[in-house]
A = this chain, B = another copy of it.
Amino acid sequence: MKEQQTAALLEALGSQAQQASYQLASLSSQQKNRLLKAIAAALTENSDTILAANQEDISQAKENGLTPALIDRLLLDAPRLKAIIADIDNVIALADPIGKEFDNQLLDTGLRLSKRAVPLGVIGVIYEARPNVTVDIATLALKTGNAVILRGGKETLNSNRVLCQVIRQALTSLDVDANAVQLIDNPDRSIVSGLLRLDQYVDMIVPRGGQHLQRLCAEQSSIPVILGGIGICHLYVDEHADLEKSIDVIANAKVQRPTVCNALDTLLVHRLVAEEFIPRICQHLHTLGVRFVGCQQVLDIVDAQSELSQVIDMQLVQEGDYDQEWLGLTLGIRVVETIDTAICHIRRHSSGHSEAILTDSVHKASHFMNQVDSSAVYVNASTRFTDGGQFGLGAEVAVSTQKLHARGPMGLEALTTYKWLAWGDYTSR
């Protein structure tokens, strides 16, 4: 695509989205919910077309030799589509954060001042694979009165095109500007770079994808970016931990769903319990299919038990292993001298997502909570809880690992901002 064409396309996308955002900002909660209902109905009505389009993506994926795991992520079948549509009902049921006024004050000058929650405006979302994100993000954005520009993965281009078309038709049927939801369906990569510089029109960029995408956005975007979804998560087994109870929590954190961001990556074990605990936890996790990379001390402990060392898959940790988000059944294990060694390890290697301590000592628990600065810090619980649904947010836009605007699981409020409103009587300063 020529540079000029790209620029014109981006200019159109941006200005259309902004224009649509003005209308969306003035819709009532009921109007927005009617819109979401219409979208759910339209998706149901057009199920066959949607599934057929997805089949094209799947055929293409098979032709291109994608792995079965990845193909499964792309797949939409009737039950999955139904679940996606059912999720819209959940979004309808959520309270609308928009329009709320708060922090009201009467100032000495006579001004009546308040803040009002308003939509951000235009949100750009760049995501990979799963076509459910298209519906998910579009509905969350509309619920909060925001326009969206979507850029999905090329692997689901056909599915996304049809999904977006159906959503836009539903908007039009209720006299809402269809440009409230726009899809960039041109696979040219320069469009992503262009989108990241469209600060005149776009208020926030949400990259939902791997490390590479996150870095690209952080480095190239002139628009505020919500980084997230990368979890290098730690669990520290303190000398005062109940070792028996700890085993289940660690197993839950590691194997319940190893491919997600809140799954456990590195286990830190206090030296005073290492000799007793490490063989037990390795034995248990091994039966669940886990392989290990451990520090020299871990290897020594395991090697001392020749039966165990012969069955489990244990490698010496390599440079960079502690900075890996494993997204699979590998677990790093390290013996630490003290709780502060564990905290230092976490500060150095964590992505700021979720960390936990297992201990019966209140003192140690508090110290860990105070000193570890990640989006979620747990005492005696699995890192797997870091999730919008679990945290009672009703929806999850993303899990932010940065500190500004929103941290951890992001609900609808993260798609809002506020403006200050002041009523005077021809008041001067």
Contacts and interface: CB of A to CB of B under 8 A. Distances in A.
A371 B121 CA distance: 12
B382 A428 contact: yes
Contact of A118 (B373, B386, B392): B373
A218 interface: yes
Copies in the complex: 2
Interface in A97-156: 105, 107, 109, 111, 113, 118, 120-121
A283 interface: no
Interface string A236-266: 0000001001101101110010000000000
Given A26-B371, A224-B224, A403-B203, A390 B420 contact: no
Contacts of A381: 111, 422-424, 426-428
Given A378-B423, A379-B422, 12 more contacts: A109-B385, A113-B392, A121-B403, A204-B403, A224-B402, A376-B421, A380-B425, A381-B423, A382-B428, A384-B429, A385-B422, A407-B417
A34 interface: no
Interface in A250-291: 251-253, 256
Interface of A: 22, 25-26, 105, 107, 109, 111, 113, 118, 120-121, 197, 199, 203-204, 218-219, 222, 224-225, 242, 245-246, 248-249, 251-253, 256, 347, 358, 365, 369-371, 373-382, 384-386, 390-392, 402-405, 407-409, 417-429
B222 A222 contact: no
Given A118-B373, A403-B417, A107 B408 contact: no
A422 B248 contact: no
A25 B373 contact: yes
Contacts of A249: 426-428
Contacts of A375: 419-420
Contacts of A358: 426
A423 B379 contact: yes
Contacts of A197: 219
A358 B26 CA distance: 22
B426 A242 contact: yes
A1 B242 CA distance: 55
In the complex, the 7 A-B pairs of residues with the closest C-beta atoms, listed nearest first: A381-B424, A252-B428, A245-B426, A403-B417, A404-B405, A384-B429, A376-B420
A229 B417 CA distance: 18
Contact of A404 (B253, B365, B404): B404
A360 to B, nearest CB: 10
Contacts of A111: 381, 385
B422 A378 contact: yes
Most chain-B Cβ atoms within 10 A of its Cβ — which of A347, A381, A404, A426?
A426
A248 B423 contact: no
A107 B393 CA distance: 12
A408 B390 contact: no
A386 B420 contact: yes
Nearest to A21: B373
